[in-house]
Amino acid sequence: DAGVTQSPTHLIKTRGQQVTLRCSPKSGHDTVSWYQQALGQGPQFIFQYYEEEERQRGNFPDRFSGHQFPNYSSELNVNALLLGDSALYLCASSLLTGRSNQPQHFGDGTRLSIL
């Protein structure tokens, strides 16, 4: 039973470029959340997708957008990259319905470096 998988594992971009990160949730999960973890910090919630729609959003600008596909996989897109976007981007999956007490399952993340 595969857990949460993310690709790529590492990525190097330059300022102003655009990037797409991908996530496949754990089998049986229907909800995907994305987090940004800067060096030395805890994960910061970006947004959550359920039924192919953005369900919740954290304090991130519109440069951060996402998508969820019918197979529950998800993409995170970041436009007009800034140096401050350098971070580990984590994807977490869970079951949504009535289960806010359930833990999320995390992938190993994508390390994004902006030059």
Among 18, 56, 77, 79, binds another protein (CB under 8 A): 56
Q: Please spell the DSSP secondary structure of 14-58, one letter per residue.
A: -TT--EEEEEEPPTT--EEEEEEE-TTS--EEEEEEETTEEEEE-
Among 1, 28, 42, 97, binds another protein (CB under 8 A): 42
Q: Cβ of residue 15: shortest distance to another protein, in angstroms?
A: 25
Q: Cβ of residue 108: shortest distance to another protein, in angstroms?
A: 5
Residues 6+ apart with CB under 8 A from 67: 49, 52, 74, 75, 77
Per-residue mark of binding to another protein, 72-111 (x: CB under 8 A) = ------------------x-x-------xx-xxxxxxx-x
Ramachandran class of 12: left when φ > 0, alpha when ψ lies in -120 to 50, beta otherwise: beta
Q: Answer yes or no whether residue 54 interacts with another protein by CB under 8 A.
A: no
Q: Answer yes or no whether residue 13 interacts with another protein by CB under 8 A.
A: no
Q: Cβ of residue 64: shortest distance to another protein, in angstroms?
A: 14
Nearest to residue 36, comparing CAs of 66, 14, 16, 15? 66
Q: Cβ of residue 30: shortest distance to another protein, in angstroms?
A: 15
